[in-house]
Structure 1
Amino acid sequence: MNREKKTGVVYEVYVQSFNDSNNDGIGDLQGLIEKLDYLKDLGVNILWLTPIFESPMVDNGYDIADYKKIADVYGTMADMDELLEKAHEKGIKIVLDLVVNHTSDKHAWFEASKQSRDNEFSDYYIWKDPKADGSEPSNHGSVFGGSAWEYCPERNQYYLHLFAKEQPDLNWKSKALREAVYETMEFWAKKGVDGFRMDSISLISKPDEFEDAPLLDNKKYGAYYQGITNGEHLHEYLHEMYERVLKPYNLFTIGETPHTDVEQGQLYVDPKREELDMIFQFEHMHVDYGEYGRYSDIAFKLSDLRRDLDHWQKGLSWNSNYLGNHDQPRIVSRFGDEGKYRVKSAQMLAMLTIMQRGTPFVYQGEEIGMTNVDFKSMSEMRDLEAYNTYELLKSLGVEDDQAFAMVKWKTRDNARTPMQWNNQKNAGFCQSEPWIALNSNYDKINVEKDLASEDSIYRFYQKLIELRKTNDVLIDGDYQIVETNDSDVISFMREKDNKKILIVLSFANKRIKYNLPIQFENGELLIGNYSLDSNELNHTLYLQPYEGRAYLIG
């Protein structure tokens, strides 16, 4: 990976919740253009936009009906051209969400494919005959609940949908389909788009025959990914994509790879294989999973988080470093403290994200410490997955109150409420009713208030990002875990050319004593989220609640 890519710091924009320019309650491209200076000042140089394409919005735009048309609610192609031009003028690259594991069932390809078994598009999707008794071809379940198969009377066959039934899976065995995808990518590359984040890319290579999958997490249907993730031809497809589009246009690429282990992950990012620049893996997102999977009411253990992060830092040649995104709870609520120590824990978590080896990802609102939402009822949520999971949990015998608490804690809506710009009407996001209600704490947590604070989270992110982009140790330095046993601390080292940076991060909500397991000399504080009497490194550290320190050594 070239140095330009390595110095990238990515900011994920959930477009419909970022900034609304026309007061229809939905964020849009002009709203994003209005905030480019805010993002440039933060220091990020790559914007990843969640899907902005024509869509029925069954899954908030991840069900695409036309890859070459901007959804009306977001604007026009002229708005997109303006965004590209103005972002590039400010030194900011634009990465689009490429959703090519599936489309919407309203896509013209699917509308044609379902009509017959022998037309131009008939093999663009995964079609299978019913079993002898007329039932589904396998017991695979959908991510959102129910069977992963939907019957289509026009063909007397089932089609596969690993997500909602309105999201039929594409058949990558079809060379014509692959060429259509590459042509779409080329269309956007010629417009000036700088790269793609590839949704669920580890799922695109499907088996010829579908065997029943094991039942996990007390669910009725088999695990959706069993026998599917990292399929036989996956890397063949990605290398073909690289040769056809990624290499000629020097595109920045991130693959979302659910249910991928570290050995498989390295196959994606090994430069010699010519596939992707980096991947999103999810092992550290599973640290608080319970008996029903993702939706649980248990807390994470720091030892598990430290182990999983260390495992991937050592196992991949280049990582995507993130703690939150549009599919996860807010990081302060999940890994920090959303109350008394919200600011300090937000700053400490920023150090963890930005100072590890790899590309840092900041999700909108993290730079001001936005928190989970105190939902009062299911009716306040908008996420399809939340409703389906709530009903599933109740069907499995979970009491209503507990089912609601579990969904409330992990619903994707926690990260999807509008960006909190100020304490005015609707937090400055819009003047009309927003598509989803704002977090009620926007009068206390917002950009305007944070920027006015002497202990601003945004300003701390600024310092960290500038440090990350200008320090060779943080860009290219090796990674080594320092602390493996402490119940309150994650500590690691970055090193290059005899220069070292020691990072010490406390996850405790109280003052603690921490003895460094290695003796260091001549250490000077590089950055920290508390004011200290002395900037010199001592063997014994007394750390304040959620304190983070980085020392330059040698």
Structure 2
Amino acid sequence: MSGQEWWKRAVIYQIYPRSFQDADGDGIGDLAGIAQRLDYLSWLGVDAIWISPFYTSPMKDFGYDIQDYRDVDPIFGTLADFDALAARARALGLKLILDFVPNHTSDRHPWFLESRQSPASAKRDWYIWRDPAADGGPPTNWLAEFGGSAWEYDEASGQYYYHAFLKEQPDLNWRNPEVRAAMYDAMRFWLERGVDGFRVDVMWHLIKDDQFRDNPPNPARPPNAGPANALIPLYTADRPEVHDIVREMRAVVDAYPERVLIGEIWLPTDRLVTYYGHDLRGAHLPFNFQLIGAAWDAGVIKEIVGDYEKALPRGGWPNWVMGNHDKGRIASRLGPRQARLAMLLLLTLRGTPTLYYGDEIAMRDVPIPPDRVCDPYEKNVPGLGLGRDPQRTPMQWEDAPQAGFTRASRSWLPIAADASTVNVAAQRAAPASMLTLVHRLIALRKAEAALTIGDYGALDAPERVVMFLRRVPGRRLLIALNLGESAQSLSLPGDSRQATTLLSTDPERPLGDLAPAFTLGGGEGIVVLLADRETAPPSPAA
């Protein structure tokens, strides 16, 4: 890898299309709405947008139950709207990444309707059908992520079909070469329309055990975890054969120049990195979620980053994700001051960062009244706080009715109570705002090669401080983050003659020269240019 691939230098911005911008006034975001806001994303400085599913769907899981992989659901617009969005993105220099959901379809997909007609159907083997167990119950003990058995009984045929998620989301049989061919053709449909890559949903789920063995019990099930965590998914996820499929997907993408394949993979680091594949012919970026659920503790963060850097295969490119549509928002997890540090960390670690819409203005999780709950996870498993609606609420654009998201009197999910002050318009005009900080951080990434393709090196630091170097030949940047509440006394590395503060999360800190011994405020992070033998300007004699 040369270091010049666009996705190595990029900041990726995730858009949940129902919640970004509503152009047609029905209270639900759409593709035309996204197109209207691309100028904002261009100003923000992101390089690529990843759009969560907008395909034709009954919306049992809000687009992750797909009825037609080659069309746009009328809620979101039309193929013409998509083409207009893609053209506008290209004009602004923005790459376009689509969510691809290959593990399962909707139960209303024509493939499943045909599969369900009869055990003799030509597409019966496109899905995972099994006879009942000896007692007439489900074939195995496998559990669905959204509650209950992962097997649904079909009265007409006397067999069960497997669904890792909702019963309305039957899993495809990826051991069937016809399924693979059909799904790769679906990918090509969008690649031919000019998309720049895919984020592949639940990539590690695609293959299930061909012997249909029971999953073992999980003795370390976390409290308040989802019901599926009662078992270790030994036979339903991360099977060895899945890497053959990932390699084939990569070959599909590689047939088109400058495309990227990203995998959603919720696995420990040692398993995650295997999805880069043999000879790096797997996913370009197996999504790294290690920081999302981690304790916000300097020691924990240092260990996570260090372990990940060591585990990466030679030539494998790192990436970091700190927020998405499935997990609580950063500002709610960490609070406003530490959320600023999180943005600094995300945008200065080595690798490609992904930014979730609204995190750049420190949007928080929004309480959802019981009568407004939409998420099937919350409906199926209430009371555990697993619902994902709070982090999927509409983008807060301005101090206006419905925060400028829609002209309808009611949006599909509630608008945050603080939207009159926490919004793009207000923060864009405020020098000390989160949005201004993120905008400046992204601009600094673009200006400093050390922050995009530079090396990473951890530095010793006090207990509550994370400190590291990013370096390219001739230029070194020091990043220091104080996760504690109290100020910390720090020193520049011993080989540094002088330094210049380029950016601070504390708007009160002056930029410019920094003394070799300095104080980092509680909850403050800084980016410092080190001047030493490597970065000193050449002498006249040179």
What TM-score results when the alignment is normalised by the length of structure 1? 0.88
CA distance, structure 1, for counterparts of residue 455 and residue 522 of structure 2 = 28
Corresponding residue for residue 193 of structure 2: 191
1:416-445 C-alpha deviation (Å, 9 max, x unpaired): 000001111110111221111111111121
Match of residue 384, structure 1, among 376, 387, 398 = 376
**Deviations along 1:122-162, whole A, 9 cap, x unmatched?**
11111122110011111121111111111112332111111
Aligned twin of 1:225: 233
Q: CA deviation at 1:22?
A: 0.9
On the 8 A contact 2:490/2:520 being kept in 1, the answer is: no
Gaps of 5+ in 1: 289-299, 391-402
Q: Aligned-pair distance for 1:540?
A: 4.3
Task: Please tell me the residue identity of whatever aligns with 1:253.
Answer: L
CA deviations on 1:244-286 (whole Å, 9 max, x unpaired) are: 3433344211100122x33333332258332211011333333
Distance 1:270 1:473 in 2: 27
Aligned to 1:293: none
Q: Which of 520, 523, 527 does residue 543 from structure 1 map onto?
A: 520
Contact 1:501 1:552 survives alignment (8 Å): yes
- Residues of 2 paired with 1:256 and 1:464: CA distance? 26
CA distance in structure 2 between the partners assigned to 1:76 and 1:476 by the alignment: 38
For the structure 1 residues 347 and 417, does the alpha-carbon distance in structure 2 shift closer, same or farther, using more than 3 Å as the test? same
Pick from 149, 156, 171: which aligns with 1:169? 171
Q: Could you tell me whether the CA contact under 8 Å between 1:125 and 1:159 is conserved in 2? A: yes
Q: Choose the corresponding residue for 1:16, options 15, 18, 22.
A: 18
- 1:312 to partner: Cα distance: 1.8
The answer to whether the Cα contact below 8 Å between 2:350 and 2:451 also exists between their aligned partners in 1 is yes
Equivalent position of 1:296 in the other structure: none
Contact 1:306 1:484 in 2 (8 A): no
For the 8 Å contact 1:140–1:224, the answer to whether it is kept is no
Distance 1:271 1:547 in 2: 41
The corresponding residue for 2:317 is 318
- What secondary structure sits across from 1:284 in the alignment? coil
Is this contact kept in 1: 2:266–2:272, CA < 8 A?
no
Give the match for residue 37 of structure 2. Answer: 35
Change (3 A) 1:213 1:539: farther
Report the more deviating stretch, 306-315 or 423-432.
Answer: 306-315
Establish whether residue 276 from structure 1 lines up as the match of residue 275 from structure 2.
Answer: no
The 1:537–1:310 alpha-carbon spacing in structure 2 relative to 1, beyond 3 Å, is farther
Question: 8 Å contact 2:107–2:113 — kept in the other structure?
Answer: yes
Q: CA deviation at 1:373?
A: 1.7
Question: Which of 363, 368, 386 does residue 370 from structure 1 map onto?
Answer: 363
2:392 is equivalent to residue 416 of structure 1: yes
Answer yes or no: is the 8 Å Cα contact 2:14–2:357 preserved in 1: yes
Contact 1:482 1:517 in 2 (8 A): no
Amino acid at match of 1:258: W
Query: For the residues of structure 1 that align with 2:366 and 2:65, how far apart are their CA atoms?
Result: 25
Change (3 A) 1:438 1:534: closer
User: What per-residue deviation string (whole Å, max 9, x for no partner) do you get for residues 485-532 of structure 1?
Assistant: 61x322222122253211111223x33224359535222212212233
The TM-score with structure 2 as length reference comes to 0.90
Distance across 2 between alignment mates of 1:170 and 1:455 = 49
For each residue in 1:296-346, what CA deviation from the matched residue of structure 2 results, as whole angstroms up to 9, or x when unmatched?
A: xxxx544334422332233223222121011111101112x2xxxx2x434
Instruction: Give the CA deviation at 1:205.
Output: 1.6
Distance 2:460 2:204 in 1: 33
Shift of 1:220: 6.5
2:502 is paired with a residue of what secondary structure?
A: strand
Aligned equivalent of 1:552, options 529, 532, 539:
529
Aligned equivalent of 1:356: 349
Shift in Å at residue 68 of structure 1? 0.8
Measured after TM superposition, the shift of residue 213 of structure 1 is 1.7
Q: Residue 308 of structure 1 is aligned with which of 304, 314, 320?
A: 304
Question: 2:540 matched to which residue of 1?
Answer: none
Q: Tell me the equivalent position of 1:295.
A: none
1:100-499 matched pairs, under 5 angstroms = 100-216=102-218, 217=221, 222-223=230-231, 225-259=233-267, 261-269=268-276, 272-287=279-294, 300-316=296-312, 317-335=316-334, 337=335, 342=336, 344-375=337-368, 377-390=369-382, 403=383, 407=385, 411-432=387-408, 433-483=410-460, 486=463, 488-497=464-473, 499=475
Q: What SS class does the counterpart of residue 476 from structure 2 fall into?
A: strand
The verdict on how the C-alpha distance between 1:484 and 1:114 changes in structure 2, with shifts beyond 3 A counting, is: farther
SS in 2 for 1:373: coil
- Alignment deviations for residues 87-125 of structure 1 (CA, whole Å, 9 cap, x no partner): 101101111100001111111111111112222211111
SS at match of 1:285: coil
TM-superposition CA deviations, 1:183-217 (whole Å, max 9, x none): 00001111111110000011112110222223332
Encode CA deviations 1:435-494: one digit per residue, 9 max, x unaligned: 1111111112111111121213222222211221332211222222224761x3222221
CA distance in 2, matches of 1:499, 1:320: 22
Q: Which residue identity does 1:319 align to in structure 2?
A: P
Read off the aligned partner of 1:156 and give its amino acid letter.
G
Equivalence for 2:490 = 515
Amino acid of the structure 2 residue aligned with 1:39: L
Identity %: 35
Say whether the 8 Å CA contact 2:197–2:260 is kept in structure 1. Answer: yes
More deviation in 310-319 or 78-87?
310-319
By how many angstroms is 1:42 displaced?
Answer: 0.5
State the distance in 2 between where 1:464 and 1:244 align.
34
Q: Which stretch of the first structure deviates more once superposed, 521-530 or 326-335?
A: 521-530
Deviates more, 1:530-539 or 1:164-173: 530-539
Separation in structure 2 between the aligned mates of residue 449 and residue 244 of structure 1, nearest angstrom: 44
